[in-house]
Amino acid sequence: MKTLLKTIVTAITLFCIMAFASINANKETHIATTLEPSEIASIIVPEIVKPELPKNQTGLFLNKLGHKESGNRYDVVNSYGYMGRYQFGKSTLEGLGYYISREDFLNSPAIQEKAILDLLRHNRRILKSYIIKYNDSVVNNVYITESGLLAAAHIAGPGNVKKFFEQGKDVKDGYGTYMTTYMSYFAGYELDI
């Protein structure tokens, strides 16, 4: 009877440890296969920690967009003259009300961050009906989300995003990156803008 009890306790203990070890894979768990019942109390079970998901994914989205556009460098100007972390054109900036010299724009991360938020809000207003109609659906083999559409509008303009839905037309930038690539790559972020 004592051997049977010891076997059952050992089996239950091993099961629990294996379950907790798989939940917390970063911690190593060592256990002998022959435990005495008195030793069970001394086993320390790792604490289960739920990962805290960000409530606002805007920062993650902007970091990814900035990385894709410029390697997250505020001082970059590409061969087409697009500037900063998010590669703004002068006409886009002026359309948003930013009448600023190239040098001042490149030397002001704060202005660049404000400008991208203004552009995202602007494009969201223009694309509102498309976001409502197509969010969380597949169109022309592309999964559509608000963040993906706003990224696509950033690279190709909101007019080209509309043409994608109305005519099935995909466009690419001067470097050959298709608008739908941005739709897919930046899909699924919950933006608080």
Residue carrying structure tokens 């629990």: 16
* Per-residue confidence (pLDDT) for residue 1, from 0 to 100: 53
pLDDT 10s digits, 161-193: 999 999 999 999 999 999 999 999 999 999 999
Structural domains for the chain: 2-40 (no CATH), 58-185 (1.10.530.10)
Q: Please tell me whether the overall predicted TM-score, pTM, comes out greater than 0.75 for this model.
A: no
Residue pLDDT, tens place only, 13-23: 444 444 444 44
pLDDT digits (tens, 9 = 90+) for 32-91: 445 455 454 444 444 444 444 455 799 999 999 999 999 999 999 999 999 999 999 999
Cα–Cα distance between 44 and 29 in angstroms, integer?
10
Q: Residue 73's pLDDT is what?
A: 98
Which single residue is written with the structure tokens 């202005």?
A: 111
